[in-house]
Amino acid sequence: METLLRLLQQDSTVSREDLARQLNLSVDEVGRRIAELEQNGVIRGYQAIVDRERFDKNTVTAFIEVRITPERGGGFDRIAERIAKFDQVVSCYLISGGYDLLVVVQGTSLREVASFVSEKLSTIESVISTATLFRLKTYKENGALLTAETAEDRLAVSP
């Protein structure tokens, strides 16, 4: 299961036939295991890894550190889930350190992200403060290096 999951994390487009050959399983068994991983919520979806800058130079990603007042009974969960529901929020994590939440926001312009922070995020009652860090360049995304190393020239046949 572990290996299957790793393979899918590296490339979810790999065919079930290829997975079966690598894992020494039948195609049906691979299908059954993937279905199981999907049903019990281990696999939450399949996405492409995108280098946005190649597509649209104006895309803005911001990492927003948010301090919030935890609620009696609910802790950080209710407010974090509320923030996570905004479409602009790509990821939202509870973190240790000086801040409580790390919120990753994507927008089509600086202004759009700035207004999301000032109008939506900062105005939530239990939010004490925010610090917005804009992404300048991406070097690695979900395990994929975006500045690829050039393949070295190997000998075509060697002992």
Partner 1 sequence: MNDKIAAHVRDIPRSGIRDFFEIVQSMHDVISLGIGEPDFVTPWHIREAALFSLEKGRTGYTSNLGLPKLREAIANYVARKFHVQYHAPSEVLVSVGVSEAIDIALRALLNPGDEVLYHEPCYVSYNPSVTLAHGKAVSVPVHEKDNFQLRADELEKRITPKSKILLLNFPTNPTGATMPRKALEPIAELCVKHDLIVLSDEIYAELTYDGAEHVSIATLPGMRERTVFLHGLSKGWAMTGFRIGYACAPAPLIEAMMKIHQYAILCAPTMTQDAAIEALDHGDAAVAHMREKYELRRNFIVSALNDMGLPCPLPRGAFYVFVDIRPTGLTSREFSLRLLEEHKVAVVPGTAFGKDGEGFVRCSYATSLEQIKIAMERMAGFVQHVSRRAA
**Cβ-contact 147, 97 below 8 angstroms:** no
Neighbours of 88 (CB within 10 A): 17
Find the binding residues for partner 1 in span 23-62 (CB under 8 A): 23-24
Give the number of C-alpha atoms closer than 13 A to the C-alpha of residue 38, restricted to the C-beta side.
10
Binders of partner 1 in range 122-151 (CB under 8 A): 149
Quick check: 158 binds partner 1 (CB under 8 A)? yes
C-beta closer to partner 1: residue 87 or 149: 149
Q: Choose, by CB under 8 A, the member of 3, 58, 108, 118 that binds partner 1.
A: 3
C-alpha 24/C-alpha 37 separation (Å) is: 19
Can you give the binding site for partner 1, defined by CB under 8 A? 3, 6-7, 18, 21-24, 149, 152, 154-159
